[in-house]
Amino acid sequence: MVVDQGNERSIWEFSYRDCASCFEKNGLSLTESGAYECRWSCPESVGRGGFTRIRLRDGFELWITDCLLHRDIVCNQSGEGSGFTMVHFGFCLEGFYAAGWENGSEQFILRSGGHYLFFGDESRSYGMMTTGVQQFIVSVVMTPELLLSYFDVEESGLSGMLKGIVRRCAANAFFRLESMTAEMHQALRQIIECPYSGASRKLFLESRCLELLAYQLEQLYGSGDFSGEAYIPGSLHPSEKSGIEKVRRLLLDNLGNPPNLDDLAEFAGMSHPKLNRCFRRFYGKTVFQYLRDERLKKARVLIENQGRTVTEAAYLVGYSSLSHFSKAYKHHYGISPGTEFRSGKTA
């Protein structure tokens, strides 16, 4: 594994089969331990917060990452030998997570409001969390055998797609990014705020995790762009990556009044259909979808943290129609901006 050492980074050799040993080696302490749920907390030298693992059944785990790091952490997956081990479903509520394959020639960026599906040989992959960024990521990991067992009664459609991924990905990895829906946000909120304990908690969390997977798989399958073909490393040229990253920064700097798609494409040095294809390939969404999600994320910060009214927030992030903004906000977060504003005022 080749990793840039330009910044101060900690390199962890991580295995889901022996996560306790990895955390212990890197100074994390086991602060909560139960029959099926454990939490490891970061020492001050690493950061604040920690990692929670909940074993729902054999081959089925829920992970909650809630931390603010003082240094970059690179996790080199150390699976036992080659072959496919676990299917990873990740949901980023807050933060920035980069995942890569083999020698770092290709990265996938997961940002707030995004979710991913990863399937590949863990011993050839890695993930990185960056310093100074609050990370709040919910992940579900499952053996492919267990996942496929839920679709035994189905001979085509989603089942055929999943079996195709397992069959075709013998040498490469399968990785897809998409934007979270309001239903996903609601299920994630229920997981985080689970009111139960003991066996009831375990049953509740398992049901919500399965609900999340159903939403995610149906979204990906329904997109019409989920054929099960393996990811081919190096499929984006460095100049293409540079172009879409410049466009991303330009969008973030001009959320309230962004350039049109033709101007963005010219800025990136490619046609606008190609810009959308490359943008979706790298960030899991089209340019418009990315702009919408970032506008809504900023609007939520304005309403929740800065006490701005719904009208002010909508105007500041570039919405000219208040009804359009409210509809988009509720669809994305599962709650109206007005309710969010009133909740903040009474908190």
User: pLDDT tens for residues 270-322?
Assistant: 988 888 888 877 776 788 888 998 899 889 889 888 888 999 999 999 998 99
CA neighbours within 13 Å on the CB side: how many for 38? 14
Q: Give pLDDT, residue 227.
A: 47
**Identity of the amino acid at 306:** Q
**CATH for 238-346?**
1.10.10.60
Could you identify the residue written with the tokens 């919500």? 208
CA-CA-CA-CA dihedral for 88, 157, 170, 92, to nearest 10: -20
The pTM (predicted TM-score) of the whole model is 0.70
CATH architecture of 9-222: Sandwich (2.60)
Closest by CA to 272, choosing from 280, 264, 284, 283, is 264
The pLDDT of residue 233 is 42
Rounded distance between C-alpha atoms, residue 187 and residue 178, angstroms: 16
| pLDDT confidence band for 231 (50 / 70 / 90) | very low
- Coil, helix or strand for 33? strand
Q: Tens digits of per-residue pLDDT, 65-115?
A: 999 998 888 887 665 544 547 888 999 998 888 877 665 555 677 888 888
Query: 145-176 burial by CB neighbour count: b if 16+ within 10 A, else e?
Result: eebeebbeeeeeebeebbbebbeebeebbbbb
* Residue 304 to residue 7: CA distance in whole angstroms: 33
CB contact burial 59-93 (16+ within 10 A = b; e otherwise): bbbbbbbbbbbbebbbbbbbbeeeebbbbbbbbbb
Mean pLDDT for all residues in the chain: 81
Q: What is the pLDDT of residues 137-154, one digit of tens each?
A: 999 999 888 888 887 765
The set of residues, in sequence order, having a beta carbon less than 8 Å from that of 249 and lying 6+ positions away, is none
Residue 307 CA neighbour count, 13 Å, CB half: 3
Dump pLDDT digits (tens) for 188-221.
999 999 999 999 999 999 999 999 999 988 887 7
Distance CA 283, CA 292 (A): 13
Listed ranges 115-129, 246-260, 279-293; the one with the highest mean pLDDT: 246-260
* 263 closest CA partner among 319, 254, 236: 254
**pLDDT for 229:** 44
3-state secondary structure of 164: helix
Boundaries of every domain in the chain? 9-222, 238-346
